[in-house]
Structure 1
């Protein structure tokens, strides 16, 4: 028998052996993307909340909390842990805590939140 005929089907067997590793790598990369996206959302949400709270004329706290939730996707808005808004020494600060979804947003969340901080100078 020639060497080529003896190895027939070897590539298929090797591919089947490596497939679970490829799938695990793809899942890990997807989870890393969700974590990064949650960090981005938390930072942006805190930035918008601090800005709205700093320029609000009436209820600064309510304006701040509303702005923090305004542009969040539904899955992250539903899992919003806490929004803290404060006025301190001429600055208005906002802290937003979001839950990181596990693989599918809106189904299951990690217990460790991601926190975004922002500050804006008080106006008016």
Structure 2
């Protein structure tokens, strides 16, 4: 007499059928993935926002330094009868991307021209709201005219 597979398993202590395993697994872990996702998603998003804001702050530092260098170079080479402040401002804003706000000032002290550039750090994207935080860079060069 031949035993059926189910009877053989029962007698020998074999593994339960695959359907029973699948049903038991689904019922025991039901909703766990949803709970894990809802608890981790805000943490992951907050981390990404903070990293992006840090990148924007670093980029504001680079923009500020570059604008200060260009402004002082333009102020040092301007003709004596032209307005030094206008030349500095125009050269400093030349490479600033749209949406970035900056205060640029340039003045002469003896044989030196000094430029100060303050770039405002935007919140999440340029052109929107700015933090009260400003990144300031200073640069100086000898007058050439």
TM-score, normalising length: structure 2: 0.75
- Residue 111 of structure 1: aligned partner: 132
- Residue 99 of structure 1: aligned partner: 120
Range moving further from structure 2, 16-25 or 109-118: 109-118
- 1:86 equivalenced with 2:100 (yes/no): no
Q: CA RMSD in A?
A: 1.8
The unaligned stretches of length 5 or more in structure 2 are 1-19
Aligned residues: 120
Aligned counterparts of 2:85 and 2:131: Cα–Cα separation in 1: 27
Aligned counterparts of 2:126 and 2:107: Cα–Cα separation in 1: 30
- Residue 64 of structure 1: aligned partner: 88
TM-score, normalising length: structure 1: 0.86
Name the structure where strand makes up a greater proportion of residues.
1
Structure 1 segments, 4+ long, off by >2 Å, are 6-13
Q: Deviations over 1:16-59 (max 9, x none)?
A: 21111000000001111111111111110011000010011132
Structure of greater Rg: 2
Structure showing greater relative contact order (alpha-carbon pairs closer than 8 Å, 6 or more residues apart) = 1
The unaligned stretches of length 5 or more in structure 1 are none
